[in-house]
């Protein structure tokens, strides 16, 4: 199916966090943050590996103490994906993790003390060729701006962001990205829209402290989805009071829905009604669980009856339309064979994995011929 709308992304400069490009024409990256005690090296490394398996491009690690900075040294040595270090107030921690191989410093220049300390951190970032992420948050707005504006507003957040930007630019440092987050969807959206017109650096999107899995997913989909639809955003983090792996899954689902990026199966499924000829909800739950390991892109339709089933199934690689006495299976948009409800999930899983295997083989053949 031809796309009805193509998103025109905001033009930005490009930076690198490790080997991951951010901004410019790079794909929008998806990241999360560990919630382990950083000093517990084993638990932190295991969570980073789990996030990588879920599809994370980047992982942020909180470094609240110098002990955590020492633990980060081993964590970095064992990690396979770029790590962003989250630091507040103590410039010495920033210097230490930069020395230990941090791929990015999440630190606000205005919050780490006198100018000489800022200069030292920026000099270290330059020496190690690592970017800085400015992270403005409505919950930690500077006191003078709170007094000036009375409460967090888009203009207050933007002024805070520009103050930090000015510090870096005064030190001839352009290798940074910026986030400007709030838990309120409208405040976040308006703040990003304003700052996107004032700087050229990449923007990290997020609705901070969005909530639990369900409510946080909805807030993030509305807020981030609206910004992404406008072409704003170069990397995203979905902030959920849930397992970090869920942040990655939701992030990719948002990008997938906007056709900005894909990972795994894109399921099209009906909510089911009395016309359904098989248990759509049970089938979908089983398929999603069984196929979580799949990272390849494939469209699959699971429709319980003949009203919308044929139309949807004609647009996908694998489709099933509920019918009586047997359901109709579509392959590459064409009716292929019929099957009853017994072992339907097993059959669909087998077809999907077979299709993915063929896609891989075809890709390998093309690569071999080009070599």
Cα angle 46-51-55, degrees, rounded to a multiple of 5: 145
In the listed set 209, 234, 257, which residue is the last one of a domain according to the structure? 257
Residues 50 and 193 in one domain: yes
Q: Mean pLDDT throughout 72-82? A: 98
Domain of residue 62, CATH code: 3.20.20.20
In the listed set 257, 279, 297, which residue is the last one of a domain according to the structure? 257
What one-character DSSP code corresponds to residue 111? G
For the chain, how many structural domains are there in total? 2
Asked if residue 92 has pLDDT above 90, the reply is yes
pLDDT at position 371: 58
Residue 328 lies in a domain: yes
Confidence of residue 6 (pLDDT cuts 50, 70, 90): confident
Residues 245 and 272 in one domain: no
- Parallel, antiparallel, or unpaired for β 176-181 and 327-331? unpaired
Residues 248 and 181 in one domain: yes
Average pLDDT value for the chain:
93
DSSP 317-344: SEEEE--SSSEEEEETTEEEEEE-STTH
Residue 3 lies in a domain: no
Residue 48 lies in a domain: yes
Contact 317, 300 (CB under 8 A): yes
Q: What percentage of residues in the chain have a pLDDT greater than 90?
A: 85
Confidence of residue 196 (pLDDT cuts 50, 70, 90): very high
Q: Mean pLDDT throughout 100-123? A: 88
Weakest mean pLDDT among 113-117, 249-253, 310-314: 113-117
Asked if residue 370 has pLDDT above 70, the reply is no
Residues 250 and 271 in one domain: no
Asked if residue 132 has pLDDT above 80, the reply is yes
Task: For residue 106, give its domain range.
Answer: 14-257
Domain of residue 293, CATH code: 3.30.413.10
Residue 2 lies in a domain: no
Residues 164 and 280 in one domain: no
Residues 240 and 275 in one domain: no
Residue 6 lies in a domain: no
Confidence of residue 88 (pLDDT cuts 50, 70, 90): confident
* 224, burial (CB in 10 Å: exposed 0-12, middle 13-18, buried 19+): buried
Residues 251 and 297 in one domain: no
Confidence of residue 368 (pLDDT cuts 50, 70, 90): low
Q: Mean pLDDT throughout 133-161? A: 93
Residues 97 and 150 in one domain: yes
Q: Mean pLDDT throughout 26-30? A: 97
pLDDT at position 300: 96
Residue 132 lies in a domain: yes
Residue 187 lies in a domain: yes
pLDDT at position 159: 96
Asked if residue 305 has pLDDT above 60, the reply is yes
pLDDT at position 361: 82
pLDDT at position 262: 85
DSSP 138-175: GGG--HHHHHHHSS--HHHHHHHHHHHHHHHHHTT---
Cα–Cα distance measured from residue 154 to residue 138, given in angstroms and rounded to the nearest whole number: 9
Cα-to-chain-centroid distance, residue 305: 34
- For residue 170, what are its two tokens? 């005064």
Contact 134, 164 (CB under 8 A): yes
Residues 205 and 282 in one domain: no
pTM summary value: 0.90
Residues 237 and 126 in one domain: yes
Residue 139 lies in a domain: yes
Residues 274 and 194 in one domain: no
Number of helices (H), then strands (E), belonging to the chain: the values are: 12, 15
Cα–Cα distance measured from residue 205 to residue 212, given in angstroms and rounded to the nearest whole number: 18
Residues 361 and 279 in one domain: yes
In the listed set 257, 289, 322, which residue is the last one of a domain according to the structure? 257
């Amino acid at each position: 199916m031809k796309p009805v709308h193509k998103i025109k992304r905001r033009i930005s400069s490009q930076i690198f966090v490790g080997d991951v490009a951010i901004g410019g024409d790079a794909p929008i990256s998806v990241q999360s943050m560990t919630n382990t005690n950083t000093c517990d090296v084993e638990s932190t490394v295991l969570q980073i590996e789990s996030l990588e398996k879920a599809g994370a491009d980047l992982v942020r690690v909180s470094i609240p103490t110098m002990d955590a900075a020492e633990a980060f040294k081993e964590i970095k040595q064992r990690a396979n994906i770029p790590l962003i270090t989250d630091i507040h107030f103590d410039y010495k921690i920033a210097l230490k993790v930069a020395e230990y191989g941090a791929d990015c410093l999440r630190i606000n220049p205005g919050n780490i003390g006198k100018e000489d300390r800022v200069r030292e951190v920026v000099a270290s970032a330059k020496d190690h060729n690592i970017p800085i992420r400015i992270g403005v948050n409505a919950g930690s707005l500077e006191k003078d701006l709170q007094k000036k504006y009375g409460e967090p507003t888009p203009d207050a957040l933007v002024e805070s962001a520009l103050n930090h930007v000015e510090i870096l630019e005064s030190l001839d440092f352009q290798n940074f990205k910026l986030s400007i987050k709030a838990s309120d969807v409208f405040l976040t959206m308006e703040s990003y829209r304003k700052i996107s017109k004032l700087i050229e650096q990449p923007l990290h999107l997020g609705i901070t402290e969005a909530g639990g899995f369900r409510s946080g997913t909805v807030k993030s989909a509305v807020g981030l989805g609206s910004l992404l639809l406008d072409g704003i955003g170069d990397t995203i983090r979905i902030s959920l009071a849930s397992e970090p792996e869920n942040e990655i899954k939701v992030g990719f689902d948002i990008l997938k829905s906007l056709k900005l990026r894909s990972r795994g199966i894109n399921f099209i499924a009906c909510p089911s009604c009395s016309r359904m000829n098989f248990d759509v909800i049970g089938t979908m739950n089983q398929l999603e669980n069984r196929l979580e390991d799949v990272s390849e892109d494939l469209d699959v339709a699971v429709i319980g009856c003949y009203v919308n089933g044929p139309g949807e199934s004609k647009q996908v690689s694998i489709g099933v339309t509920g019918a009586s006495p047997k359901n109709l299976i579509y392959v590459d948009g064409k009716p292929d064979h019929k099957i009853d409800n017994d072992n339907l999930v097993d059959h669909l899983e087998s077809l999907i994995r077979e299709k993915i295997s063929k896609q891989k083989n075809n890709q390998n053949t093309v690569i071999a011929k080009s070599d």
